[in-house]
């Protein structure tokens, strides 16, 4: 679980590090892209929730935020390069963050899934431990 204070957060990764075969900077980039996406598209007055766990031989990292749900017609295209949800007012970036995150996940034998409802949008990265 993430330890958060205003303006900062810490995720204890020591327990995960010895069981993960990763390129640490790539996973950091994946994490940064998911958090950046939540900051850009989430409700500014609501917290971003981060969770990292290991279970059933898999590492799981999720980033969730409140805000407008992602339109269902956009869900299939979120991980394509240069795709941005047109209905959302923010036109920051090139539309590469989620694509890059999904490619990093794939390179590590993992996946990224997304769920979105009026309550929350959650991106979840999963990969095998070894």
Report the distance separating Cα 108 and Cα 120, nearest Å: 27
Tens of pLDDT, residues 82-130 = 887 765 555 566 789 999 999 999 999 999 999 999 999 999 999 998 7
> Which of helix, strand or coil describes residue 26?
helix
- Write down the residue that tokens 């299939």 correspond to: 76
Tens of pLDDT, residues 36-57 = 999 999 999 999 999 999 989 9
Q: Is the model's pTM score more than 0.85? A: no
Structural domains of the chain, with CATH: 35-109+121-130 (3.30.565.10)
Q: Is 6 exposed, middle or buried (0-12, 13-18, 19+ CB in 10 A)?
A: exposed
């Amino acid at each position: 679980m993430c330890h958060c204070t205003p303006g900062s957060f810490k995720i204890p990764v020591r327990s995960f590090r010895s069981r993960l075969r990763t390129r640490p900077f790539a996973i950091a980039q994946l994490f940064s892209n998911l958090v950046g996406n939540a900051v850009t598209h989430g409700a500014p007055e609501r917290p971003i929730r981060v969770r990292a766990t290991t279970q059933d031989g898999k590492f799981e990292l999720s980033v969730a935020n409140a805000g407008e749900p992602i339109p269902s017609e956009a869900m299939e295209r979120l991980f394509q390069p240069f795709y941005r949800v047109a209905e959302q007012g923010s036109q920051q970036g090139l539309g590469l963050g989620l694509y890059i995150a999904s490619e990093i996940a794939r390179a590590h034998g993992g996946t990224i899934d997304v769920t979105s409802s009026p309550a929350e949008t959650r991106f979840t990265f999963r990969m095998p431990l070894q």
